[in-house]
Amino acid sequence: MGEGGSVKGLLRAGLIMMLASSLGACITTKKDIQFLHDQIVTLNSRVERLQEKQEKTDKRLSGDLERRIEARLDARLSSGVEADIRSVREIQASLVAEVDRVKETIQDLSGRMDENNHLVRRVVERDTTEQDALRAGLAELTGKVARLEAAVARIDHYLALEPEQAKREAAKDESTNKAQPVEKKDVPAVEQASEAELYDKNLAAYRQGKYEEAISGFNAFLKKYGKSDLADNAQFWIGECYMALKQYEQAILAYQEVIKRYPKGNKVPNAMLRQALAFQAIDDKVSAKLILKRIVKKHPNSSEAKIAKAKLKTLK
């Protein structure tokens, strides 16, 4: 519109100059005036047509400029979107790679956990087996000592008598021994032997994978020898049988019986540790962590406390 105004100004200036020159020539007639008027009209008409043409040209140029600007903007936006898409794809690829690494780490940790659980079980079984062997040996020695004490008592008794009386008492004792080879003092030793025999039988069933049979046998052992030194071990092995059968709730209850009925027994730390592992197996991490912390607090110097500390790190 600025260029159209300047053209119009030039045309009018030229018109004025023409009029001035014409006036200078001394216009004398109406005919000349009419001619000049027509010329002015004609020039005005031409000026208006030029203005219209200029406006159309301006509109066309403006439209072309807008289309070019829009095309460039679209091109820039398109290139920007493609760059964003490439960036998103790169991030996505990086995330996929990171997820794969995390999966590998999880698999590695899972393998280590399985290995640790196997090691814990082996340690517990080995520790319990050694204690069982010691207790069985102790029971056997106790029986032998009881028999020896009975024999020594008889000898002392005989030596304290007169010779003739000693002979009569010896003959009488010999006949009594033939009729009754086992004296009353030997009865506890016989009972202890049968007790150890029954315990070993049930433990052998567990080691052979006969878990149901072992559970039934250990329950019978506890019913018959509830006050035995092996009672807490028998109850512990019931829990181990349930663990092997993956009946974790029953295992937890069995271990709790060890803790409740034999609080001063040496199987309590083992029972607590295995109970924590059973809770972990049913995905009750809160209870598992609580029991592991209790092991560390109540039995800080035990081997189970060391294992509990290591397990607590994996449960965080």
Query: With bands split at pLDDT 50, 70 and 90, how would you rate the model's confidence at 285?
Result: very high
176 and 274 assigned to the same domain: yes
Residue that wins the pLDDT comparison between 82 and 285: 285
Domain containing 61 equals: 2-87
170 and 56 assigned to the same domain: no
* Residue 279 covered by a domain: yes
Query: With bands split at pLDDT 50, 70 and 90, how would you rate the model's confidence at 3?
Result: low
188 and 256 assigned to the same domain: yes
170 and 223 assigned to the same domain: yes
Q: What is the rounded distance in angstroms from the CA atom of residue 123 to the CA atom of residue 192?
A: 28
82 and 206 assigned to the same domain: no
Residue that wins the pLDDT comparison between 112 and 207: 207
Q: What is the CATH number of the domain that holds 203?
A: 1.25.40.10
162 and 63 assigned to the same domain: no
160 and 16 assigned to the same domain: no
Mean pLDDT of 144-157: 59
135 and 283 assigned to the same domain: yes
pLDDT of amino acid 26: 47
* Residue 105 covered by a domain: no
77 and 209 assigned to the same domain: no
Residue 167 predicted with pLDDT over 60: no
Contact 257, 235 (CB under 8 A): yes
* Residue 108 covered by a domain: no
pLDDT tens sequence across 287-306: 999 999 999 999 999 999 99
Query: With bands split at pLDDT 50, 70 and 90, how would you rate the model's confidence at 180?
Result: very low
40 and 130 assigned to the same domain: no
* Residue 100 covered by a domain: no
Per the structure, the count of domains in the chain is 2
Question: According to the 3-state scheme, what is the secondary structure of the chain?
Answer: CHHHHHHHHHHHHHHHHHHHHHHHCCCCCHHHHHHHHHHHHHHHHHHHHHHHHHHHHHHHHHHHHHHHHHHHHHHHHHHHHHHHHHHHHHHHHHHHHHHHHHHHHHHHHHHHHHHHHHHHHHHHHHHHHHHHHHHHHHHHHHHHHHHHHHHHHHHHHHHCCCHHHHHHHHHHHHHHHHHCCCCHHHHHHHHHHHHHHHHHHHHHHHHCCCHHHHHHHHHHHHHHCCCCCCHHHHHHHHHHHHHHCCCHHHHHHHHHHHHHHCCCCCCHHHHHHHHHHHHHHCCCHHHHHHHHHHHHHHCCCCHHHHHHHHHHHHCC
Q: What is the rounded distance in angstroms from the CA atom of residue 241 to the CA atom of residue 238?
A: 5
How distant is the alpha carbon of residue 307 from its chain centre? 18
Residue 186 predicted with pLDDT over 50: no
39 and 155 assigned to the same domain: no
Mean pLDDT of 19-33: 59
* Residue 174 covered by a domain: yes
* Residue 113 covered by a domain: no
82 and 158 assigned to the same domain: no
Mean pLDDT of 254-279: 95
Query: With bands split at pLDDT 50, 70 and 90, how would you rate the model's confidence at 202?
Result: very high
**Range in 123-127, 140-144, 175-179 with the lowest mean pLDDT:** 175-179
* Residue 106 covered by a domain: no
| Mean residue pLDDT across the chain | 75
**Final residue belonging to a domain, choices 87, 111, 138:** 87
Q: What is the rounded distance in angstroms from the CA atom of residue 269 to the CA atom of residue 258?
A: 10
* Residue 35 covered by a domain: yes
Query: With bands split at pLDDT 50, 70 and 90, how would you rate the model's confidence at 53?
Result: confident
Residue that wins the pLDDT comparison between 31 and 168: 31
**Final residue belonging to a domain, choices 37, 64, 87:** 87
Residue 170 predicted with pLDDT over 50: no
